[in-house]
Amino acid sequence: MRFSDVIGQEAVKERLRSLAANNRLGHAMLLLARPGTGGLPLALAFAQYLLCDGVTRKPTSLFDAPAPTGPLPDDSCGTCPACRKTAGIAHPDLHFSFPTVSRKPGTPAVCRDFAGEWRDFLQKHAYGNDFDWLQSIGAENRQGKIFAAECEDIHRRLSLKSYEGGLKILILWMPEYLEAEGNRLLKLIEEPPEGTLLLLVAEDYDSVLPTILSRTQLVRMPPLDSASIAEALVARCGAEVDRARTVASMAEGSYREALSLLQHHEDDWLTVAREWLNAILRNGPVAQVKWVEETAKHGREKQKQFLRYMGHLTEAAIRIRSMGDEAAGIQETEADFAVKLNRVAGMGQLGAMAEEFERAAYQVERNANGKILFLALSIRLHHIIRDNSLILVR
């Protein structure tokens, strides 16, 4: 993977290039990125950049001319043997460590046992999260972990000499899963073998061992901007421009979330939203309970996407109230709904509703009971907007 294959994150890419060009790379770096914002793809691209023959400029034999000097290129070439091996997840000096589960109860789990699944995951779902990965290897309800046996295997692999005479790189994905076993790696992180770079990719800063944090060079990655997400959806998924922009504005800076939203683009969330608010504002408790029972039949992912969509509509209503109709940046039918929502609720009420939708989506992700959650949310929304009585109809 090249830098050009990573969505957005231009400032972080430039920082990494600058660190490499000025020989200021730490022996251990921690890329901190929220799920879906590109932490793992950027680590892959940076590893390919550092291993690329056009960047390192190492001679191929003893009698070659000296390697040229000058500014480093902006990206890996993508065509040299090192780049082809890295892109195929087959470079002998690029190592990986990640959460796993035991194949059989009582047997130690090491990452090399999952090499095939990991290669497929990186090539097809590089923007996925730990849940996606663990489900892809059949973890089901088992808790993933980076086990003691894997820590010992990391020591063994990095103690070997570089196969191709250059840098050795370890990408350790999700160090949050190390738990107490991370203490086995402290000496290695603090003083790795010569010519070794450790790239740790984390999502939750507070869940990484403080002793690891203190030994790494931190690089924070911001959420992706909506324009970059929309451009990627059009180029990579063939999405319509208007739909891509709508999905990108709802994705909260996560390309993974955008892909999930795009997958459900045929769901008529706007009709569901109208039915819900009509039940809350006009039709009463019986209609609310009926709506809740129907919504609870959907899977957790669809429930979460609907709540994200409601938050999107509420935020559009806030933008329209603050800056006018042109500021919404959404489809005409959604803009019409947002205008009517403004007649129902004031600015403070809209803000409270947006917070409720965000909180509910968070709870759905953590397996909250759908019926209880949506019924309680309906009651809260009624109390937020009960002083208004406009019915939202077509």
Residue 393 has pLDDT above 50, yes or no: no
* Rounded average pLDDT over 224-239: 90
> How many degrees, rounded to 5, is the angle at CA 222 between CA 216 and CA 223?
135
The residue ranking higher by pLDDT, 201 or 21, is 201
pLDDT tens digit sequence for 188-203: 998 888 889 999 999 9
Q: What is the mean pLDDT of residues 130-135?
A: 84
What is the number of other CB atoms lying within 10 angstroms of the CB of residue 144? 18
> Which residues in 84-98 are b (16+ Cβ under 10 Å) and which e?
ebbbebebebbbbbb
In this prediction, residue 42 carries a pLDDT of 95
Top pLDDT among 304 and 332 is at 304
**Which tens digit of pLDDT belongs to each residue from 193-229?**
888 999 999 998 988 899 999 999 999 999 999 899 9
The predicted model gives 259-276 an average pLDDT of 76
Q: Regarding predicted confidence, which is higher, 105 or 193?
A: 193
- Residues 281-307 have a mean pLDDT of 83
Report the greatest alpha carbon distance in the chain: 85
Sequence-separated (6 or more) residues with CB below 8 Å from residue 79:
none
Q: Does the pLDDT value for residue 389 go beyond 50?
A: no
Please state, rounded to an integer, the average pLDDT across all residues of the chain: 83
pLDDT digit string, tens, across residues 6-17: 999 999 999 999
pLDDT tens figures, 44-99: 999 999 999 888 754 444 334 444 455 778 889 889 999 999 999 999 999 999 99
Judged by phi (left if over 0) then psi (alpha if -120 to 50, else beta), residue 388 lies in beta
Domain 3-222 belongs to what architecture? 3-Layer(aba) Sandwich (3.40)
| Residue 278 reports pLDDT greater than 60 | yes
330 pLDDT tier (thresholds 50, 70, 90): low
Lookup: tokens for 67: 């390697």
Angle between helices 39-51 and 10-21 (to 10 degrees): 30
pLDDT for 4 equals 92
Sole residue written with tokens 């990991």: 118
